[in-house]
Amino acid sequence: MKSRPVGGTSTAWTANGSRSATSTRWTQEAAASSRAFSKKVIRSWLDGLTHVVAPPKCCLCYDLDTPPICSECDAKLVPAWLGGCPRCGTGPTADCPFCIGLEGLDGARAAYVYEGAAGLAVRRLKFHRLVALGRPMSERMLPVLESAFPDADLIVPVPMHRLRMAMRGFNQSELLCSAFPQDRVRRDALFRIRYTRQQARLRGKERAMSLRGAFRATPEVAGRRVLLVDDVMTTGATLRECADTIRSAGAVWVGALTFARELPGV
């Protein structure tokens, strides 16, 4: 038997030039070990991903092993749609002080007041990327949809610009539509055609100016009753611009449904 140097190492070969059984066995064992290590790394990565997508604890308090929203945090969500105002469902009368910012919308509802647990849920979903919250948040919006907007033809999540979508990896407004009737959800009926600064960093008038001309609607909305869906309403600038765009494309009615809403004076 002789040795043939290969790449600075010594490999055992038989007289006829074939590898010895010992060398072949070592190569097979090394390959098996490499595969096992790769599987371990992949399994570890998937476990970490699972923890992000479906955390084992409450996504809000992190204390109770009842994901993704525990009963204690659920009880802290303050409803925002049980009032008598026919336009927003928040105030007690038609002369509602909470309809400020809803100009351009034929109707608007929010499932919860943007404070405490509801505000935390929005921030954990959007900025902490706890996408496991998307479905339960959508399920809590579903009764509002069925009660206030049963006649909506199309349910349209507020779109993100493709650059922000690439950075964040998901559109929270789309996740909030996951529990809704999917035959009515349209993710491609409205597009964001211009990149804008994050609205949370702008004041009211600045928000309206930055959003002007930022959206484009498809002909599918013409003659339809369209319901916009977003995570939170603050000044209402984004929803108003979306509504104006959709109405200009021929929609006969445009409303909005959000998970939470900031209420003036609250």
Q: What is the pLDDT of residues 128-180, one digit of tens each?
A: 999 999 999 999 999 999 999 999 999 999 999 999 999 899 999 999 999 99
Q: Measured between alpha carbons, how far is 105 from 19 in angstroms, rounded to an integer?
A: 78
Q: Measured between alpha carbons, how far is 156 from 131 in angstroms, rounded to an integer?
A: 19
* 219 pLDDT higher than 80: yes
pLDDT at position 9: 45
Query: Which CATH entry fits the domain spanning 74-261: 2.60.40, 3.90.1580, 1.10.10, 3.40.50?
Result: 3.40.50
Q: What is the pLDDT of residues 193-202, one digit of tens each?
A: 988 766 666 6
Q: What is the pLDDT of residues 1-23, one digit of tens each?
A: 444 444 444 445 555 555 555 55
Adjacent-strand bridge partners of 226: 154, 254
Q: What is the pLDDT of residues 221-262, one digit of tens each?
A: 999 999 999 999 988 889 999 999 999 999 999 999 999 999
Q: Between helices 134-148 and 116-126, what is the axis angle to 10°? A: 120
Q: Measured between alpha carbons, how far is 159 from 191 in angstroms, rounded to an integer?
A: 6
Q: What is the pLDDT of residues 98-132, one digit of tens each?
A: 887 788 899 999 999 999 999 999 999 999 999 99
Domain ranges for the chain, please list them: 2-52, 74-261
